[in-house]
Structure 1
Amino acid sequence: MLGVIAMPPLQDVYLRDQPVRTLGRMFRGQRRRLVVAAAAFTLKHSPIWVIPLLTANIIDVVVDHRPLTELWVNAAIMAVLILQNLPLHQLYTRMLSRSVRTVETGLRMALAQRLQELSIGFHRRVSAGVLQAKIVRDVENVVESTRQAFDSGMAAVTTLAGAIVITAIRVPEFLPVYLVAVPAGAALVVSMRRRMSARNAAFRAEVEHMSARVSEMTHLIPITRAHGLERDELERMDATLVGVRNAGFRLDVTNGWFGSLSWILMQLLSVATLVGAAWIAWTGRFGMSAGDVTMLSAYFVALTGAVTALMSLTPIIAKGLESVRSMGEVLTDPDVERNHGKAQVAAVRGDVDLEDVRFAYDDAPDETAIDGLTLHVRAGETVALVGPSGSGKSTVLNMVIGFLTPTEGRILLDGRPMTELDLRSYRRHLAVVPQESLLFEGSVRDNVTYGSRDLSDEVVLAALRDANALDFVDAMGGLDAVIGERGARLSGGQRQRLAIARALVRDPRVLVLDEATSALDTASERLVQEALARLMRGRTTFVVAHRLSTIRGADRIAVMRDGRLVEIGSHDELVAADGAYADLHRLAAPA
């Protein structure tokens, strides 16, 4: 059970082109807390619109020489209003923070879950840096814009409401002033909103491009440094950063115009209100007192601040809504691996049948990657796939794993079509050892038991021993030794042997080896080959390797060319047949 508060599936919450409603749906489960927070804020913020009225009363006490009792009563009310701010502000902060942080955690977890559901094809199309920006930056934008909208929005709304109500009661003749100020500010907001939205979208696109470039740059640092290409890489990064700078500059200028125009408008209206109220009181019209002039002046300053705050929220809200749209690019992408309602795979024998399989990638629908492939692999059999680059070997492996679905034909696992199976349950019986081992920062134990954390140390040590990894693990300090980010403290051969140990503890029935020894030196390759031989024993194994020496012992070797199976048999049978495999064998033989 995951330790975060669940949200409704985001793909169900998200409404395309309706980010405001989407945001409301995201916070649907927090309504009670938000109502309490709003009530607490209204009360704790009341001094802003009540104190001007009390101030007016005190001024009139002085000017009209009223009883001092009224002075002390108004002063006492002021003190109570000020002191209540502390407990109510704490209540407000707790309720709002719990709501916002819950949604923040739920959003990130839901996005992470969605990324796990999206197909491998999606992850090949979309940069990891862009996806990272959506989980980190976009969620942060949504949360911060919500928090600021609540803080500033509640302050502005309660101030406006309080000022209007008290003015309507005490000096109703001044209500038309508000009817002028509010529409004027609203007109400014509407006129700027569209341009600001476009600027935010452009800036977000540049930042996502920058994130992707940074991710790529950090990944390529060993290659960059090894070939002295630092200057070239910095020039590429400079062009990206200039794009971010220019987009950010255009966004800032737009926001600057917006802020300046709104401030000028509100200040002019404030001055007009003060002068008008003073003139009316001086002429004796409407029965206004000196205290009323002070109150109206203070209210209009508060009013201008409230309206300005509402207008200044527009770019912040626009930024948050743009991030909601950005998350929608993940939430609404249809390229999802669908497992719900399909048959669970409780056990696997290991029979795999490819029946007249054809496959074409979405970005090249007219180019057939696999063309009419039929192949039966018996349980416990090792089949090697060989052929030139682009012949379809990796595509076959990805279909066996379930990452890709045939465009035509079908794949059967133990006689059942894989399209009818819950692939997540099938993959619990499968292990993959790729060319580049995928390790993470943590201990040896963490990496070997990844996905199988309830294993005992005895089982882990046995797997390390069978993977020819126990010696170097002991030298590093044992199972708790930290291997560094992506296994930085290990050699290539050591990383591969840890990956093999990880596969061993899973006890898979189907094994996929994708160029597992191609990047190793001779000594490391020998140790890895010995470990792989133990791993492959009794398991259905698919092997892709360019080095023919590594696949001589396969039960059968399938030779592929242009997505087709051109011949199949054992090493000796294929050499004797003097066909495509024999040609490859002669090319690989030492001169």
Structure 2
Amino acid sequence: MNAPHTSPIPLPPLGHNPGRAFLGLLRPHRGKLLLAALAFIVKDSPLWLMPVITARVIDIVVDRRSLTELAIAAGLAVVLLLQNYPLHMAFTRLFSTVTRRIAADLRNTLTEHLQSLSIGYHSRASAAVIQTKVVRDVENVELMMQQAFPAALSAVAALTGAIIMTAIQVPAFVLVFALTVPIAVLLMRYVRARSRHRNEDFRRQVEQFSKGVGEMATLIPITRAHGLEKVAVERVSHRTEEVRSAGINLDVLNGRFGAMSWVAYQLLGVFCLVAAAAASLTGLLPITPGQVVLLSTYFTILTGGIVTLLSLVPVFTRGLESIRSVGEVLQDPDVEENDGKSHITDVEGELRFEDIRFRFPGDPRVAIDGVNLTVNPGETIAFVGPSGSGKSTMLNLVLGFLRPTSGRILLDGRDLESLDLREVRRFVSVVPQESVLFDGTVRDNITYGLENVTDERVLKALTDAHAMDIIENLPQGWDTVVGERGASLSGGQRQRLAIARALVRDPRILFLDEATSALDSESESHIKDALDTLLRDRTTLIVAHRLSTIRSADRIVVLARGKIVEIGSHEQLLKLGGHYARLHEAQNG
């Protein structure tokens, strides 16, 4: 099976010039677009050629000419109309291929870039807003192409054809038609100046609304537990009203613009018809009755084409605003740089912290303050301490989610800053406090990201994770779909499957981030048995709140305000009678 097309698109700075960026999106597909445009122009040629045939027929009738001339005109009309079908299908296939490819490339590029952005970016950004950019904004770009390209091409072709045919048939009226251009330019400048700001305001309001809905969905258990349904509804309703208000302002602007365009060009159409008729009646110009109809028809085509182009301005503005929105993600500089770093093919598991300090951006306090620690291969180290002492920050520094403000972390004697962290993480597994499962089968969740995993390997991982009783009680065994976020399983079951996911990877380094803190005592006993297997012969760093889960750790590191204040085994620290002993006493009464 072929891998999906995920090559990143080389885009110019989207936020500065979305119009140029849009042309950059089209450039790789210019061959197909040119063929599509050619097919479209030919298939739409009846719009500007049929008035000539119509005028010819009228003059044949008025002048009482032969039926042969009438038959020839009819035959030309039939051929002209029949060619529309095959060329329309050719255009549809070519243009749809380009449009869908660009949308897929944009989404793939966004997804790839989101995966390269730092954890700091994702901690700041709303998941709902990111989803809006990947789904709604890319859809807006796709809709802009689908709605605007054919309509604009049709309008331009009709305008060009009408002017050329008028120049051939009645050259004097070309100057009358030229009056439409300055009016169009003035209207377009007016709407572009105001539409961009209103589209941007509307887009921001929709993003805030998406963020609010995401928060509401996340907080539903808390909301219902505390009887705060009315408060939640009011919070979302407030954002709904802001979206409604911004949408009305945008719609009123677009409506005013559309009405102004329509009235102006209908008046010009009446003027053109009357002028052509008056010229024919007075003999000022040698215009036949058929040419009066032809001029009226062409001016209708001309004005219709210009009105169409003007009506597309809001569509283009909305699409370009969405390109600007996508650019906010693609141009965010908070990227984890791995390209060009040293490769790594094997990991022993030695970790060394050398005078590590870390401060979160904008926070005057030091989160990690001068930590020095060596972790030997295969050793289990537990970090304990009060909230805010720096336990999880230590894990995030080793994972490379955070970079030290000063000092360095060595893996097997090599500075992490010099290594490609994507390769390092292939030797790492993480069991978080709350296991995250996706909407798929149990087997898919355990083997996530791995290829060609044998059933025997999965079975051993489940057995070692003490999770076989879960599989035996599921209707389709490990082929059972667990539901979004594993909703059909208990917390303890999800955690054991997360341990099986870690075991199937056979990592050299393991991170446990309060993996049992949210479980009841019975579930914790099952997890503890699984963890004993998981920790064997692996370098393991544990962040623990419950001290009962870390008694067997080789060493326990006690942190306070980002500093190591005690270090030793469980028994050694109890004898010391310091911070750890007080924590132990507080938890055990």
Q: Is TM (by shorter chain) over 0.5?
A: yes
C-alpha distance 369-9 of structure 1, shift in aligned 2 (>3 A)? farther
Does residue 1:405 correspond to 2:403, yes or no?
yes
AA of the residue aligned to 1:281: S
AA of the residue aligned to 2:562: G
Residue 318 of structure 1 is matched in structure 2 by 317
State the 1:178 CA deviation: 2.0
Secondary structure at the counterpart of residue 477 of structure 2: coil
State the 1:8 CA deviation: 4.2
Residue 90 of structure 1 is matched in structure 2 by 89
Q: Which range moves more in the overlay, 60-69 or 542-551? A: 60-69
State the 1:2 CA deviation: 6.7
Q: Which range moves more in the overlay, 84-93 or 175-184? A: 175-184
Residue 501 of structure 1 is matched in structure 2 by 500
CA distance in 1, matches of 2:365, 2:322: 36
State the 1:225 CA deviation: 2.0
Deviations 1:73-132 (A, max 9, x none): 111111111110000000000000001011111111111111100011000100000000
Verify the 8 A CA contact 1:4 1:105 in the aligned structure 2: no
CA distance in 1, matches of 2:164, 2:574: 96
CA distance in 2, matches of 1:124, 1:6: 25
AA of the residue aligned to 2:3: G
State the 1:210 CA deviation: 1.2
Does residue 1:123 correspond to 2:130, yes or no?
no
Residue 473 of structure 2 is matched in structure 1 by 475
CA distance in 1, matches of 2:408, 2:277: 86
Secondary structure at the counterpart of residue 437 of structure 1: coil
Secondary structure at the counterpart of residue 369 of structure 2: strand
Residue 227 of structure 1 is matched in structure 2 by 226
Residue 137 of structure 1 is matched in structure 2 by 136
State the 1:521 CA deviation: 0.6
Residue 207 of structure 1 is matched in structure 2 by 206
Equivalent residue runs for 1:161-176 within 5 Å: 161-176=160-175
CA distance in 1, matches of 2:315, 2:2: 32
Q: Which range moves more in the overlay, 498-507 or 370-379? A: 370-379
State the 1:586 CA deviation: 2.0
Does residue 1:383 correspond to 2:373, yes or no?
no
State the 1:67 CA deviation: 2.9
Deviations 1:169-210 (A, max 9, x none): 111111112221121012101011121111100111111111
CA distance in 2, matches of 1:201, 1:2: 39
The equivalent position to 1:451 in structure 2, one of 446, 449, 461, is 449
CA distance in 2, matches of 1:99, 1:157: 21
C-alpha distance 542-380 of structure 1, shift in aligned 2 (>3 A)? same
Verify the 8 A CA contact 2:573 2:581 in the aligned structure 1: yes
AA of the residue aligned to 2:368: I
Verify the 8 A CA contact 1:5 1:102 in the aligned structure 2: no
Residues paired across the two proteins, number: 588
Verify the 8 A CA contact 2:442 2:478 in the aligned structure 1: yes
CA distance in 2, matches of 1:4, 1:174: 55
CA distance in 2, matches of 1:68, 1:157: 35
Equivalent residue runs for 1:3-14 within 5 Å: 3-10=3-10, 12-14=11-13
Verify the 8 A CA contact 1:359 1:368 in the aligned structure 2: yes
Q: Which runs of 5+ in 1 are unaligned?
A: none
Secondary structure at the counterpart of residue 140 of structure 1: helix
- The percentage of counterpart residues that share the same residue type is 53
The equivalent position to 1:425 in structure 2, one of 423, 426, 431, is 423
CA distance in 2, matches of 1:235, 1:415: 56
C-alpha distance 152-21 of structure 1, shift in aligned 2 (>3 A)? same
C-alpha distance 541-8 of structure 1, shift in aligned 2 (>3 A)? closer
Residue 462 of structure 2 is matched in structure 1 by 464
Deviations 1:1-57 (A, max 9, x none): 9733344444x4444411111111112221111011000000000000000111111
CA distance in 1, matches of 2:310, 2:5: 34
Equivalent residue runs for 1:538-577 within 5 Å: 538-577=537-576
CA distance in 1, matches of 2:259, 2:238: 31
AA of the residue aligned to 1:379: P
AA of the residue aligned to 1:4: P
CA distance in 2, matches of 1:484, 1:197: 42
Residue 75 of structure 1 is matched in structure 2 by 74
TM-score (norm 1): 0.98
Secondary structure at the counterpart of residue 348 of structure 1: coil
AA of the residue aligned to 1:250: N
Equivalent residue runs for 1:45-64 within 5 Å: 45-64=44-63
TM-score (norm 2): 0.98
Secondary structure at the counterpart of residue 501 of structure 1: helix
Q: Which runs of 5+ in 2 are unaligned?
A: none
Residue 360 of structure 1 is matched in structure 2 by 359
